[in-house]
Amino acid sequence: MATHTLFLSPAILSKKYIILPRQLSLSSSASQIAVSCGTQPQRRRDHGLRWRCLADKSQVEWPHDGPHAPASLGDAENPELNSPVEESNGNAHITTVVTTKEELEEELVTSITSKEESGAPIMSNEESKEDSKLLKVKFNIVFVTAEAEPYSKTGGLADVCGSLPIALAAHGHRVMVVLPRYLNGKSDKVYDNTVDLGKRTKVTCFGAEHEVAFFHEYRENVDWVFVDHPSYRRPGNPYGDSHGAFGDNQFRFTLLSYAACEAPLVLELGGFNYGEKCIFVANDWHAGLVPVLLGAKYRPCGVYKDARCIAVIHNIAHQGVEPATTYENLGLPPDWYGALEWVFPHWARKHALDKGEAVNILKGAIVTADRIITVSQGWLVLRFYFLVHA
């Protein structure tokens, strides 16, 4: 399997910029993405995680700074700085490109089996891959996704999240998939075999408490958990209808991320819950708040300290970008705003007084996840071609 993998350490965190193609274009080739050095940005109280678009360069500038920033690029001149960190709080990034569903399965299996029970950071090199084959440790794995076949489908995301959990369960892992329970009146029969677990949990976001219920189906050795809420009961597909995207999608998928973080703690499936020691697999922006919540709300309270999160990017065209004023709706601490901060370039703003300030949920996932996997070269976000081929 041809992959590009690079260890990232925080040692030179504040000295590097990652330059991404204009608007994170889907057509951006590998050669269009480069990494350049820059001066250290001014430290910000919001952790300094700021993405800015440079109108004159038609690029996106991503300076890193602060305690919750992702690890930086490797340093060829000082290889001793490139070792993984021992603590995971969004600081041990490894980016891997896979091109087929089979490769994605293999990479996830490698990522998961390479994690020691002690909670050490995920490793990725040829030696550790070989050693991981000898490990018989099984893990609690929690997929979080907006869709999964056969329950809901609009594209390839549903194919992957409908089959990959089954494949991982076949490896002996305990696997849960958390997704919304969409009731649109046409395909409701797909939930005929699900049962109400009788468990309700309250989520505080968007200025109020929202109660969600959990439904469950055990199929092909996988726990399929469905989050039930009135916002998932409407005609159309998971994201919109004939009139366009639903206006409350940020709320609907914020709710999903919160519920997914609660599910391993509160749901007793097969007689016991998954617990805190699990691996989350957050798919696309719809689940992008999962790694953010782990770092911002759970770990500071001593919960999920041994959990890890892998962010899988299937389609970078959709990033969950909303006005900056919506940040307070997410229920996150104010000092985590920088993890989601996004600023549009001048050429993308609507009028002269538009500051272009926004929040980008997918960016938050990239910043805070322990590992990032993209499903093809076309969706590659962090590109290290000249480093790995130097």
DSSP letters for 164-200? HHHHHHHTT-EEEEEEE----SSSGGGGTT-EEEEEE
Grade residue 187 by pLDDT with cuts at 50, 70 and 90.
Answer: confident
pLDDT of residue 375: 78
- Could you tell me the CA-to-CA distances from 258 to 197, 254, 265 in Å, in that order? 18, 6, 12
Comparing CA positions, the residue from 66, 98, 67, 115 lying closest to residue 164 is 98
CB atoms within 10 A of CB 74: 21
pLDDT of residue 358: 94
Cα 284–Cα 320–Cα 28 angle in degrees, nearest 5: 70
Higher-scoring residue by pLDDT: 355, 21: 355
CB atoms within 10 A of CB 235: 10
pLDDT of residue 374: 85
H/E stretch holding 322: strand 321-323
Does residue 193 surpass a pLDDT of 60?
yes
Is 257:179 a contact under the CB 8 Å cutoff?
A: no
Grade residue 73 by pLDDT with cuts at 50, 70 and 90.
Answer: very low
Least confident among 24-33, 117-126, 231-240? 24-33
Grade residue 205 by pLDDT with cuts at 50, 70 and 90.
Answer: very high
Report residue 215: phi and psi, to 5°.
Answer: -110, 160
Secondary structure class of 286 (helix, strand, coil): helix
Higher-scoring residue by pLDDT: 35, 169: 169
Q: How far apart are CA 188 and CA 130, in angstroms?
A: 45
Q: Where are the domains of the chain?
A: 10-388
Strand partners, 311: 282, 372
Radius of gyration of the chain (CA): 20
Strand partners, 278: 140
pLDDT tens digits, 282-313: 999 999 999 999 999 999 999 999 999 999 99
Higher-scoring residue by pLDDT: 124, 139: 139
Mind giving me the DSSP string for 3-21?
----B--GGGGGGEEEEE-
Strand partners, 35: 18
- Residues belonging to the chain: 390
H/E stretch holding 260: helix 249-266
Q: How far apart are CA 341 and CA 343, in angstroms?
A: 7
pLDDT of residue 23: 33
Strands (E), the chain: 16-20, 34-37, 51-54, 59-63, 95-97, 140-144, 174-180, 195-205, 208-219, 222-228, 240-241, 244-245, 278-283, 308-313, 321-323, 341-343, 357-360, 371-374
Comparing CA positions, the residue from 29, 51, 30, 63 lying closest to residue 348 is 51
pLDDT of residue 107: 72
CB atoms within 10 A of CB 246: 17
Cα 121–Cα 224–Cα 208 angle in degrees, nearest 5: 80
Is 283:144 a contact under the CB 8 Å cutoff?
A: yes
Does residue 177 surpass a pLDDT of 50?
yes
- Which percentage of the chain shows pLDDT scores above 90? 53
Comparing CA positions, the residue from 221, 227, 167 lying closest to residue 194 is 227
Is 315:379 a contact under the CB 8 Å cutoff?
A: yes
> Which residue in the block uniquely carries the two structure tokens 């000898």?
134
CA 211 to chain centre: 24
pLDDT tens digits, 362-375: 999 999 999 999 87
Higher-scoring residue by pLDDT: 97, 270: 270
Higher-scoring residue by pLDDT: 98, 255: 255
pLDDT of residue 69: 32
Crossing angle between the packed helical segments 101-113 and 156-170, to the nearest 10 degrees: 50
Architecture per CATH, 10-388: 3-Layer(aba) Sandwich (3.40)
Is 314:283 a contact under the CB 8 Å cutoff?
A: yes
Is 268:298 a contact under the CB 8 Å cutoff?
A: no
Cis peptide before 333 (omega within 30 of 0): no
pLDDT tens digits, 84-137: 323 334 444 555 666 566 677 777 766 665 554 434 334 344 545 544 443 456
pLDDT of residue 220: 97
Q: How far apart are CA 370 and CA 70, in angstroms?
A: 9
